[in-house]
Amino acid sequence: MPELPEVETVKRRLSLSLIDKEIIDIDVFYPSYSSLKQINNEKILDIKRKGKYLIFVLSNHFIVSHLRMEGKYHIKEEKDLSKHDLVRFNFKNFYLFYNDVRKFGTFNCFNKDIDIYNEYPLKDVGPEPFDVDGRYLYQKLTIKNEPIKAALLDQHIISGLGNIYVDETLFMSSINPHRKSNTITEFEASKLIESARIVLNKAIKLGGSTIKSFESFNGEIGHFQTELSVHLREGERCKICNAFIIKDRCAGRGTYYCPNCQREDENKKLFVITGGYASGKSSVLKILNNLGYETISLDDIYNNLFQSSTKMKNAIKKKLKISSKEELKKLVFSDKEKNNILMSITHPFVMEELYKEISKMNVQVIFIEVPLLFEGGFEKTFDKIIDVYSSPAIRDNILKNKGISYEDFIQRSNSQINIEEKRKKADFMVYNDGTKKDLLFKVKELLKMMEV
Ligand SMILES: [Zn+2]
């Protein structure tokens, strides 16, 4: 459906060909548009736009046109109708056709002495992001208990933003689409207005977005769809933090966002426990859990999904042609290329589940064990990184308990990135080189240092 940038593009294209040209008369081939028949021998003085409405300013009338889902304009030198042409504006040397497969588009005709901005449908169209500031939006939002996405789609509050540009505006403002409108601060409202202007201007510059069928004029398509940050990018990486873009439903519309850049609760801090194989990550997580902190293990999520998600299992089967967990385990440590494919399949599922669990936890601090943090490219996805590493004695003990040989360990370690590299990227470190009691002491010291 055309939104503000698409309609602005149509307006600009039509203006180039039509301003100062005289409409001799109009042929109407669809009864709902019969009011257009009253127009004859009138010059088009200007073409304006309000929200998603086009306004043709004629010598004696205004025509207000809304393209809805599929409305399109074409100019031709021949007067022959094409399929779904519903209106023909006859000029001296050419014809303007209005074509609409779905017939949802609308036309309203007014005499020139009428203040059209106070008449239906334009009176219900709110100001555009270009016309207002953050304070205006903030005042409108404080009285709304609906998701911010719904409020931004509401053309009475602010006009011109549809599904695509609301998703992009919210992403640029780092605001979760599900957040209640009345929790948005005045600062955030200003950020929303500013982002909306940037997104819309860029889209106008690129001639709008052509996703299903938008053509601005005479078959021209838009190019903003290649610039989208979140919309239609489900399962792809966020351009800022590398998390996976999520799609769910909000305000009745398919909604795309980055669960990390657009957190529902910004005060929730996500701390990662990572480290090499057999370093004691799980022991640290267990201690934190015993101390009363909320913890999540990505391995647990993965294992659960492996049991419950047919979608994930099928995706693995399709791409790697294996389905048993044992085979997969072997592959993870022996074939780097196939392991990368496996990660690219499973990570979006695992991360989506992770964010679901996070949103259920009603606390400010969550510790998450992420074994392949760096290998998966997630180092920018969390707030702080805690690296656990162990002395050879501890490591050998862990390996023994897991029933894994040293050769196996070397192979597994080789499939992960260098321990030294990890250490450099971490914010905090826990050296696991003593008894369980020592580790408990170190974790408590860590918590003091982190002030949580
Ligand atoms: Zn992100």
CATH of the domain at 310: 3.40.50.300
Structure tokens of 352? 């989506």
Q: Residue 344's pLDDT is what?
A: 86
Range name among 18-32, 138-152, 372-386 with the lowest pLDDT average: 372-386
Q: Residue 184's pLDDT is what?
A: 97
* CATH code (residue 235): 1.10.8.50
Task: In whole angstroms, give the CA distance from residue 63 to residue 121.
Answer: 12
> What's the mean pLDDT in 220-237?
87
pLDDT at 213 over 70: no
Which range, 142-156, 207-221, 423-437, has the best average confidence (pLDDT)?
142-156
Q: What is the mean pLDDT of the chain?
A: 91
> What's the mean pLDDT in 138-164?
95
Range name among 32-46, 176-190, 306-320 with the lowest pLDDT average: 306-320
Same domain membership, residue 217 and residue 281: no
pLDDT at 51 over 70: yes
Q: Is 3 labeled as catalytic in the residue annotation?
A: yes
Distance between Cα 347 and ligand 1 center (Å): 15
Q: Residue 273's pLDDT is what?
A: 96
Do 132 and 158 contact (CB within 8 A), yes or no? yes
Q: Residue 267's pLDDT is what?
A: 87
> What's the mean pLDDT in 49-58?
95
279-309 burial code (b ≥16 CB/10 A, e <16) = bbbbbbbbbbeeeebbbbbbbebbeebbeeb
pLDDT at 370 over 70: yes
Cis peptide before 121 (omega within 30 of 0): yes
Residue 87: how many other CB atoms lie within 10 Å: 22
Last residue of a domain, one of 230, 257, 284: 257
Same domain membership, residue 308 and residue 223: no
Residue 242 structural domain: 134-257
Distance between Cα 260 and ligand 1 center (Å): 5
Same domain membership, residue 396 and residue 356: yes
Do 73 and 111 contact (CB within 8 A), yes or no? no
Distance between Cα 174 and ligand 1 center (Å): 9
3, 70, 168, 352: the active-site residue: 3
Same domain membership, residue 276 and residue 251: no
On whether residue 263 sits in a domain, the answer given is no
Distance between Cα 259 and ligand 1 center (Å): 7
Same domain membership, residue 205 and residue 63: no
Task: In whole angstroms, give the CA distance from residue 383 to residue 283.
Answer: 21
Q: Residue 324's pLDDT is what?
A: 79
> What's the mean pLDDT in 193-217?
83
Same domain membership, residue 112 and residue 141: no
On whether residue 176 sits in a domain, the answer given is yes
Q: How confident is the model at residue 32 (pLDDT cuts 50, 70, 90)?
A: very high
Task: In whole angstroms, give the CA distance from residue 411 to residue 333.
Answer: 6
Q: Residue 416's pLDDT is what?
A: 65
Distance between Cα 237 and ligand 1 center (Å): 8
Same domain membership, residue 152 and residue 22: no
Last residue of a domain, one of 205, 236, 257: 257
Distance between Cα 406 and ligand 1 center (Å): 38
On whether residue 355 sits in a domain, the answer given is yes
Do 193 and 130 contact (CB within 8 A), yes or no? no
Cα–Cα distances (Å) from 219 to 73, 101, 185, 384, in that order, read 9, 14, 43, 50
Structure tokens of 121? 């449908």
Same domain membership, residue 357 and residue 314: yes
Q: Residue 337's pLDDT is what?
A: 84
Q: Residue 141's pLDDT is what?
A: 98
48, 68, 253, 268: the active-site residue: 253
Distance between Cα 389 and ligand 1 center (Å): 28
Last residue of a domain, one of 218, 236, 257: 257
pLDDT at 197 over 90: yes
Task: Please measure the distance between the N-terminal and C-terminal CA atoms of the chain and give it in whole angstroms.
Answer: 48
Distance between Cα 443 and ligand 1 center (Å): 29
Tens-place pLDDT, residues 395-419 = 888 888 878 777 777 767 666 666 7
Same domain membership, residue 309 and residue 345: yes
Percent of the chain at pLDDT > 70 equals: 96
Same domain membership, residue 68 and residue 109: yes
Nearest to 386 by CA among 367, 365, 399: 367
On whether residue 370 sits in a domain, the answer given is yes
Range name among 14-23, 80-89, 162-171, 263-272 with the lowest pLDDT average: 263-272
Same domain membership, residue 81 and residue 147: no
Structure tokens of 139? 């005042």
Task: In whole angstroms, give the CA distance from residue 76 to residue 85.
Answer: 12
Tens-place pLDDT, residues 130-140 = 999 999 999 99
Nearest to 334 by CA among 393, 411, 424: 411
Task: In whole angstroms, give the CA distance from residue 276 to residue 390.
Answer: 9
On whether residue 328 sits in a domain, the answer given is yes
Distance between Cα 223 and ligand 1 center (Å): 23
> What's the mean pLDDT in 9-31?
96
Task: In whole angstroms, give the CA distance from residue 151 to residue 230.
Answer: 19
Q: Is 446 left (phi over 0), alpha (psi -120 to 50) or beta?
A: alpha
Distance between Cα 250 and ligand 1 center (Å): 19
Percent of the chain at pLDDT > 90 equals: 70
Place of tokens 């826990």: 430
On whether residue 129 sits in a domain, the answer given is no
Range name among 17-21, 107-111, 421-425 with the lowest pLDDT average: 421-425
Q: Residue 379's pLDDT is what?
A: 86
Number of domains in the chain: 3
Range name among 29-43, 205-219, 344-358 with the lowest pLDDT average: 205-219
Q: Is 253 labeled as catalytic in the residue annotation?
A: yes
Do 224 and 209 contact (CB within 8 A), yes or no? yes
pLDDT at 209 over 90: no
Do 206 and 223 contact (CB within 8 A), yes or no? yes
Nearest to 339 by CA among 325, 350, 329: 329
11, 13, 50, 52: the active-site residue: 52
Q: What would you report as the CA-atom Rg of the chain, rounded to the nearest whole angstrom?
A: 29
Which is higher by pLDDT, 330 or 55? 55
Cα–Cα distances (Å) from 317 to 2, 218, 272, 324, 366, in that order, read 40, 46, 30, 9, 33
Tens-place pLDDT, residues 352-368 = 899 999 989 999 999 99
Distance between Cα 245 and ligand 1 center (Å): 8
On whether residue 262 sits in a domain, the answer given is no
pLDDT at 220 over 80: no
Same domain membership, residue 368 and residue 292: yes
Nearest to 215 by CA among 21, 67, 82, 26: 67
pLDDT at 342 over 90: no
Nearest to 392 by CA among 283, 285, 276, 299: 276
Q: Is 52 labeled as catalytic in the residue annotation?
A: yes
On whether residue 39 sits in a domain, the answer given is yes
Task: In whole angstroms, give the CA distance from residue 407 to residue 105.
Answer: 70
Do 250 and 160 contact (CB within 8 A), yes or no? no
* CATH code (residue 87): 3.20.190.10
Tens-place pLDDT, residues 303-324 = 999 889 999 989 888 888 877 7
Angle (CA) 229 232 237, round 5°: 50
